[in-house]
């Protein structure tokens, strides 16, 4: 191993440079298919298993943002009433309810994509949907928490900063929103990459 990268986020996944110099690998030890097209398809299938994992991390980060927001709202005397429509509550409570609903959708989509992957069933669409939704929720929730902190005057900037540290990474890790949407549309419409760019 040449070097291990020291990263700011996603530390549970090691990133390192490995150099193989004058190394021979027996044919029976090769991973995947030596044909480049099949190898590329295999690499792309790997994302079907890793995208739900990234979505799960984003869901966890978004949950932390929700919990911090709930604490801040409670400290400011804002109550969230699940028995009343959001539009009949104060703006901060209505925003929290919308964030929580989005989180629930991302959570359920992530569970579905992971369940399919665990059972070796096709999940390209579900994995991309979960990754896109969870990445978006994680990215969007942090500014909402920061806004609540400022509006309520609670001065919890350090806590808010810690919650938001990895939000940007999770939105682009394993493919950006645009890539996820392209994958979803291609699969739903049954179009190849040459038919829909």
Active site residues: 174
How big is the CA angle at 107 (ends 105 and 109), to the nearest 5 degrees? 70
Give me the long-range contacts of 183-191 (CB less than 8 A, separation at least 24). 183/124, 183/125, 183/128, 184/125, 184/128, 184/129, 184/132, 187/124, 187/125, 187/128, 188/125
DSSP letter, residue 90: -
CB-CB neighbours of 131 under 10 Å: 34
CB 137 within 8 A of CB 86: no
CA dihedral sign, ordered 18, 24, 28, 30: positive
Task: Report residue 109 as tokens.
Answer: 């989509």
């Amino acid at each position: 191993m040449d070097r291990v990268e020291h990263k700011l986020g996603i530390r549970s996944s090691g990133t390192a440079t490995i150099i193989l110099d004058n190394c021979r690998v027996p044919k029976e030890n090769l991973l995947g298919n030596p044909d480049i097209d099949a190898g590329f398809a295999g690499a792309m299938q790997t994302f079907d298993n890793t995208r739900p994992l990234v979505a799960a991390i984003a869901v966890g980060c978004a949950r932390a943002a929700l919990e911090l927001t709930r604490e801040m709202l409670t400290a400011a005397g804002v109550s969230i009433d699940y028995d009343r429509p959001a539009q009949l509550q104060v703006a901060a409570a209505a925003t929290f309810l919308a964030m929580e609903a989005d989180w629930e959708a991302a959570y359920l989509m992530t569970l579905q994509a992971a369940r399919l992957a665990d059972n070796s069933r096709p999940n390209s669409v579900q994995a991309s949907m979960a990754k896109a939704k969870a990445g978006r929720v994680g990215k969007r929730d942090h500014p909402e928490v920061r806004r609540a902190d400022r509006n309520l005057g609670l001065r919890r900037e350090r806590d808010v900063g810690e919650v938001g540290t990895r939000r940007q990474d999770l939105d682009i890790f394993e493919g950006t929103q645009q890539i996820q949407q392209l994958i979803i549309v291609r699969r739903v419409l049954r179009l190849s990459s040459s038919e829909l760019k």
